[in-house]
């Protein structure tokens, strides 16, 4: 399973799984079900495994696809953290970091400019200087004095407040964007003037 990178379900009715051979035979511990998911980044680090789902879970003690999705999410975070511990030079891809931040904050993730309709007039009005300095890209008006924005670090409330004060527009809605896409949008609307990374203080996924 670890070698193939594929998750594995085990149910007692299916017979003894090979991995159970390592369970001491002189204990009363009995495995009825298990779910195993690889820990992978650019390398395979091992696996994370859960045993014996509660019988009152409504699935007869068996793990389900819903459990798999949850464990895979946990495995993503865990693999990144472990990889950073064993190799401090390892840096997650910008897209992966954005996905982790979106999951952490429970905010929408924008992976492409084609996924949203950008108000070019609004962008030009706000200007490259404020967008770049605060790491906040406004793309849609919510009302006369409020906007929807894209941020690589939506947890930076100080910058959100500063943006709102200078632009005189409240930040009504926030979506998460990768640093790479943020830079590309700056460059698209402001040319080389906007080709500067947005601030990312506070985003420390995998550190």
pLDDT tens track, the chain, 207 positions:
566 778 888 887 555 555 555 555 556 678 889 999 999 888 888 999 999 998 888 888 899 999 998 898 888 888 888 888 888 888 888 888 898 889 889 999 999 999 999 999 999 999 999 999 999 999 999 888 999 999 999 999 999 999 999 999 999 999 999 999 999 999 999 986 555 445 544 455 444
**What are the structural domain ranges in the chain?**
8-92, 107-194
The model's pTM is 0.65
The fold adopted by the segment(s) 8-92 is Beta-Lactamase (3.30.450)
- Of 3.40.50.720, 3.30.300.160, 3.40.50.300, 2.10.70.10, the CATH number of 107-194 is 3.30.300.160
Local structure of 105: helix, strand or coil: helix
Domains 8-92 and 107-194 share a fold: no
- 35 Cβ neighbours under 8 A, 6+ residues apart: 7, 8, 9, 10, 49, 50, 53, 63, 67, 68, 71
Q: Tokens 């085990």 sit at which residue?
A: 10
């Amino acid at each position: 399973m670890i070698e193939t990178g594929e998750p594995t379900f085990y149910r007692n009715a299916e017979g003894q799984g090979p991995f159970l051979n390592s369970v001491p035979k002189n204990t009363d511990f009995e495995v009825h079900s298990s779910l195993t998911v690889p820990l992978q980044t650019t390398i395979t680090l091992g696996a994370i495994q859960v045993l014996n789902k509660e019988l009152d879970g409504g699935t007869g003690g068996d793990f389900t696809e819903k459990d798999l999705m949850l464990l895979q999410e946990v495995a993503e975070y865990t693999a990144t953290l472990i990889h950073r511990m064993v190799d401090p030079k390892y840096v997650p891809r910008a897209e992966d970091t954005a996905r982790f931040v979106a999951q952490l904050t429970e905010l929408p993730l924008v992976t492409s400019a084609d996924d949203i309709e950008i108000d070019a007039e609004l962008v030009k009005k706000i200007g490259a200087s404020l967008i770049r300095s605060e790491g906040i890209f406004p793309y849609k008006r919510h009302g006369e004095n409020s906007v929807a924005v894209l941020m690589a670090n939506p947890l930076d409330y100080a910058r959100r407040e500063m943006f709102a004060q200078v632009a005189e527009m409240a930040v009504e809605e926030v979506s998460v964007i990768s640093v790479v896409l943020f830079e590309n949008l700056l460059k698209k609307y402001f040319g080389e003037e906007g080709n500067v990374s947005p601030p990312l203080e506070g985003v420390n996924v995998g550190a």
